[in-house]
Amino acid sequence: MDAEYEEQYRAFLRQLRQAREDAGLTQQEVASRLGKPQSFVSKCESGERRLDVIELTRFASIYGKRLEFFLPHS
């Protein structure tokens, strides 16, 4: 995998976690709202599981963020 892509993906993961923390939610609370186990949220935040755009839209809605919040800033 290309180094620039890897850094952008790590930045995305930081944004994903930051959005949850900004919303004052625990992984368990987010998981409950998604109807998923806490491990789902943990794996998404660690990069172990990749999100599709529909899942990201659900996270954004829960966190009160626009999708643009999660995109790389150039």
Mean pLDDT of the chain: 94
Say yes or no to pLDDT of 32 above 60.
Answer: yes
pTM: 0.90
**SS3 of the chain:** CCHHHHHHHHHHHHHHHHHHHHCCCCHHHHHHHHCCCHHHHHHHHHCCCCCCHHHHHHHHHHHCCCHHHHCCCC
The CATH architecture assigned to 3-68 reads Orthogonal Bundle (1.10)
pLDDT given for residue 2 in this prediction: 87
Give the tens place of pLDDT for each residue, 12-27: 999 999 999 999 999 9
Q: What is the mean pLDDT of residues 37-65?
A: 97
Say yes or no to pLDDT of 9 above 90.
Answer: yes
Listed by start position, the domains of the chain span 3-68
